[in-house]
Amino acid sequence: MYSRILETYLAACQPKLGIEVRQFGWSGERADGFFERMENDVLRFHPTVATTCYGMNDHRYRPFEPWIGELYRIHLDAVVRTFQSQGVRVVVGSPGSVGRVPHWVKDAGPTVDALNANLAEIRNLALGVARNRRTGFADIFTPMWNADQLARQRYGTNYAIPGKDGVHPDWPGQVIRAHAFLEGLGVDGNLGTLELNVRRGTARATAGHAVVSAGVGTATFRSERYPFCVGEGNPAEYRTIASGTQWVPFHQRFNRLKLVVHGLSSSRCEVAWGNASRTFNSAELEKGILLPAEFPTNPFSDAFRRVDEAVAAKQAFETQQIKGEFHGAAGKADMETTVQRTEAARAPLVEAIAQARVPVTHTLTVRELP
């Protein structure tokens, strides 16, 4: 799920980077399992950047023991070393936290605190590998554990940032993961600035956006760069990302599409964007407001949803490509033919993302209030 957030973000919000994304996740996998398959599954595609997220299964759902940590460290280091030998830039991700002892743990001994203490050790070992290998690091454990403590106080245990089963987060927890990886990748979250001067009837826009027309208190823009949309225009299950943004500064860090308004004579103004409107004081507008945070549903929502759905379809295919084809009967019989055949089937799914990402024309109106 977090890989879908990441790819949709890169495709819709950072299109000029021209990044092609593949996901290679395998449920229940440990670092050693990935190490065994990374040459066949991943390196054949010549990646330039790779993110890893191992440790949850490596901690073996039991209290920490030195041998657990050492096996994890050895295998994670081997993964990173192998990537680097191929010139791949790596961002090492830590595991997240757990919210309860999962149902598949039959041993009555482990407690939630003991499992999280183990995962904290694993997190520190991942950081050690990242430092030793001079790679990026995405700390998922710390913000997820902190958010879980706050969420339990605010909403009760059913909110479950680590997931209902204690291990597999729903979208609020996944946005914490995605936020950590965007930080680890060093992504610039400035998505552009739209400026209106209500007194002069003029407008300006930064790269990725262009002014179509402007008048007194209104301007129309054409944007190739989207904000990350978390409102009503998205699939129902995906909207709960909006809830996840309260635990990490996602909008402030990575979703900075700003509106700045000059020439105001009133202390209060109504801003309309698409079908929604909100009231702000003039000082806020002079400083600049984050449009995606203030208008979760906005003129980009439908286009953003189409990009996201195309990403979801491609990533679902990639799961089947690796698990069902590469590691299935076809791959065992003839790997190279299987790669060629499945890559031909993947190509239109990649193109569908590009086709869905169309420029959006939208209008902002500022009305001064008495």
Q: What residues are paired with 23 via a beta bridge?
A: none
Share the mean pLDDT of the chain.
Answer: 95
Give the per-residue pLDDT at 241: 87
Share of the chain above pLDDT 70, in %: 98
For residues 35 and 180, state if they share a domain. Answer: yes
List the CATH number of the domain containing 91. Answer: 3.40.50.1110
Q: What was the pLDDT predicted at 157?
A: 85
Number of domains in the chain: 2
pLDDT (mean) for 101-111: 85
Q: Tell me, what's the pLDDT at 236?
A: 64
Query: How would residue 149 be classed by pLDDT, with cut points 50, 70 and 90?
Result: very high
Residue 186 vs residue 234, higher pLDDT: 186
Q: Is the pLDDT of residue 24 over 80?
A: yes
Sheet with 49-53: list strands edge to edge.
Answer: 49-53, 89-93, 136-138
Q: What is the 3 state secondary structure string of the chain?
A: CHHHHHHHHHHHHCHHHCCCCCCCCCCCCCHHHHHHHHHHHCHHHCCCEEEEECCCCCCCCCCCCHHHHHHHHHHHHHHHHHHHHCCCEEEEECCCCCCCCCCCCCCCCCCHHHHHHHHHHHHHHHHHHHHHHCCEEECCHHHHHHHHHHHHHHHCCCCCCCCCCCCCCCHHHHHHHHHHHHHHHCCCCEEEEEEEECCCCEEEECCCEEEEEEECCEEEEEECCCCCCCCCCCCHHHCCHHHHCCCCCHHHHHCEEEEEEECCCCCEEEEEECCEEEEEEHHHHHHCEEHHHHCCCCCCHHHHHHHHHHHHHHHHHHHHHHHHHHCCHHHHHCHHHHHHHHHHHHHHHHHHHHHHCCCEEEEEEEEEEC
Cα–Cα distance, 241 to 151 (Å, whole number)? 15
Do 6 and 67 share a domain, yes or no?
A: yes
CB 365 within 8 A of CB 275: no
pLDDT tens digits, one per residue of 193-245: 999 999 999 999 999 999 999 999 999 999 999 999 987 666 666 668 888 99
pLDDT tens digit sequence for 313-358: 999 999 999 999 999 999 999 999 999 999 999 999 999 999 999 9
Q: Does residue 278 sit in the same domain as residue 358?
A: yes
Q: Regarding predicted confidence, which is higher, 106 or 239?
A: 106
Question: Could you report the per-residue pLDDT of 26-67, keeping only the tens digit for each?
Answer: 999 999 999 999 999 999 999 999 999 999 999 999 999 999
End-of-domain residue from the set 163, 185, 207: 185
Same structural domain, 225 and 350: yes
Range of the structural domain that residue 129 is part of: 2-103+112-185
204 & 137 share domain:
no
User: What is the mean predicted confidence (pLDDT) over 139-144?
Assistant: 98
